[in-house]
Amino acid sequence: MAIMTKRINKSLVVNGTTVVSEAAWNEELNAKHDKLVEWLRTQELEGVLIRRHENIAWLTGGAVEVRVLTPCETGVASLLVTATGKRYYFTTENEAPRLHDEEFGKLDFEPILFPWYADDTLETAQRLAGIHIGSDTPGPGMMPANLYPLRESLSESEIARYRWLGTQTADATIESLQEVEPGLSEYDLEALTAANLMRRGIMPSVYLFAVDDRIYKYKHAAARGARLKKYGMLNLCSRKWGLAISITRFVHFGELPSELDSRFKSAAQVNAALMDATRAGATSSELFRVAQAAYEAEGFAGEERFHHQGGPTGYGEREWVATPEGKETVVNNQAFAWNPSIRGGKAEDTVILHDGKIEWLTATPDLPILNATVNGKIYPAAGVLVK
């Protein structure tokens, strides 16, 4: 039995509300540490050098954000965990004061510092752990380390953080949707949403905002400045504590065309079929076939060919997507973001398969809701806000 260690010396408090208690956070961090050390032993590695931001966030329970350049996969620090259980963080001398005060200071990692012009991370890691080390970032002298299987099933404290993030992202999206009006450009829609997220301390990571005909023409309609006439789409991902949320919402000025309304209802039905099939043990290929059959049942056979249908999320916007030959398997306490779409209509939310039940993290009860039923169970999806 693992000995419980105090790995963090604080609770996670946001705006005066405790999201994760100190005890729960320590339990999460201990479990992750033990899992990683056991993995090192099974891989016959003496240590692992962790550089990717999603893996650093995972191991530190979301307490550490190392990115300065937002789009970069790595940041200003890396972690080393050895097979004997020792823990270090590597960074430059100029980054060290802030990282101590605001990121690592309450954690039990030992700092290893070097001048910004003399990075000797690999050599020091091999001296501390041994020559046989892995890394989640390619490099000479290191074995590739895929840590995703260690983080696919979420702990209760991770789920608590995810609930906060889903609720706040949904609220920010509704605020943005209510501010939208004809004449605004796609760039304006991006700016509105980014502001509403960032004032909550949430970072937007994907913007796919489009208006009118561009929504019908393109599945991934990155903003290009078109001005809204009647129909607008806010399609985004957000991040905090390393976790990713996906959500898409729509606004229409004037009566919603009956054909578009029908497509939203069909997309909601495909979404419900995927939700109902998202159960521990289901494979990627099985889920793909569920979507395929649901489209056909709705009169849109072959629609699945035009865009991926989504898949599990967590520390990546999509950890994998459902494919015809996919071997990946659903596990308990895994987050999902399905995104079925039908020629202008779409359903996309983030949910968690939590102890056999689907929990909707990005619920927007102030917007119209489309209820779809599969196997006697009701699965809600968001409808279009009509102004």
CATH of the domain at 201: 3.90.230.10
Going by C-alpha positions, the residue among 161, 192, 313, 158 that lies closest to residue 247 is: 313
Confidence class for position 130, pLDDT limits 50, 70, 90: very high
Residues 205 and 230 in one domain: yes
Going by C-alpha positions, the residue among 269, 211, 261, 265 that lies closest to residue 235 is: 211
Domain end (from 115, 150, 185) = 150
Q: Specify the DSSP element, H or E, that contains 160.
A: helix 156-179
Whether the pLDDT of residue 90 is over 80: the answer is yes
Q: What pLDDT score does 1 carry?
A: 43
Whether the pLDDT of residue 358 is over 80: the answer is yes
CB atoms within 10 A of CB 101: 10
Going by C-alpha positions, the residue among 41, 15, 6 that lies closest to residue 199 is: 15
CATH number of the domain that residue 84 is part of: 3.40.350.10
Examine residue 196 and state whether it is found in any structural domain, yes or no.
Answer: yes
Q: What pLDDT score does 160 carry?
A: 98
CB atoms within 10 A of CB 333: 17
Q: Are 11 and 18 in contact (CB under 8 A)?
A: yes
Examine residue 70 and state whether it is found in any structural domain, yes or no.
Answer: yes
Q: Give every CB contact of residue 305 below 8 A, 6+ residues apart in sequence.
A: none
Q: What pLDDT score does 139 carry?
A: 87
Domain end (from 96, 124, 150) = 150
Q: What pLDDT score does 2 carry?
A: 52
Q: Give every CB contact of residue 158 below 8 A, 6+ residues apart in sequence.
A: 28, 61, 62, 243
Give the mean model confidence (pLDDT) for residues 133-138. 96
Residues 141 and 179 in one domain: no
Furthest-apart CA atoms within the chain: distance in Å? 68
Q: Could you tell me what percent of the chain has a pLDDT over 70?
A: 99
Per-residue pLDDT tens over the stretch 307-352: 999 999 999 999 999 999 999 999 999 999 999 999 999 999 999 9
Residues 117 and 163 in one domain: no
Backbone angles phi and psi of 314, in degrees to 5: 145, -105
Per-residue pLDDT tens over the stretch 2-18: 567 889 999 999 999 99
Confidence class for position 29, pLDDT limits 50, 70, 90: very high
Q: Which two tokens stand for residue 113?
A: 């510092």
Distances (CA, A) of 103 to 11, 95, 226, 230: 14, 11, 41, 45
Confidence class for position 368, pLDDT limits 50, 70, 90: very high
Q: What pLDDT score does 3 carry?
A: 61
Examine residue 59 and state whether it is found in any structural domain, yes or no.
Answer: yes
Per-residue pLDDT tens over the stretch 58-74: 999 999 999 998 889 99
Examine residue 33 and state whether it is found in any structural domain, yes or no.
Answer: yes
**DSSP helix, strand, coil percent of the chain (3-state; round to 5):** 35, 25, 40
Residues 163 and 110 in one domain: no
Examine residue 50 and state whether it is found in any structural domain, yes or no.
Answer: yes
Q: Give every CB contact of residue 160 below 8 A, 6+ residues apart in sequence.
A: 19, 20, 24
Residues 228 and 374 in one domain: yes
In the chain, the number of structural domains is 2
d(CA 343, CA 305): 12
Residues 129 and 160 in one domain: no
Residues 187 and 89 in one domain: no
Across all residues in the chain, what is the average pLDDT? Answer: 96
Q: What is the three-state SS of 334-381?
A: EEEEECCEECCEECCCCEEEECCEEEECCCCCCCCEEEEEECCEEEEE
For the ranges 66-70, 250-254, 282-286, the lowest mean pLDDT is seen at 66-70
Domain end (from 126, 150, 174) = 150
Examine residue 1 and state whether it is found in any structural domain, yes or no.
Answer: no
Residues 346 and 231 in one domain: yes
Examine residue 6 and state whether it is found in any structural domain, yes or no.
Answer: no
Give the mean model confidence (pLDDT) for residues 76-93. 98
Examine residue 350 and state whether it is found in any structural domain, yes or no.
Answer: yes
Per-residue pLDDT tens over the stretch 169-208: 999 999 999 999 999 999 999 999 999 999 999 999 999 9
What one-character-per-residue DSSP string does 181-215 give? -TT-BHHHHHHHHHHHHHTTT-EEEEE--EETHHH
| N- to C-terminal Cα separation, the chain | 59
CB atoms within 10 A of CB 231: 22
Residues 186 and 89 in one domain: no
Residues 203 and 144 in one domain: no
Residues 213 and 126 in one domain: no
Q: What pLDDT score does 37 carry?
A: 98
Q: List beta partners, residue 144.
A: 135
Q: Are 246 and 313 in contact (CB under 8 A)?
A: yes
**Which domain range does residue 219 map to?**
156-386
Residues 307 and 236 in one domain: yes
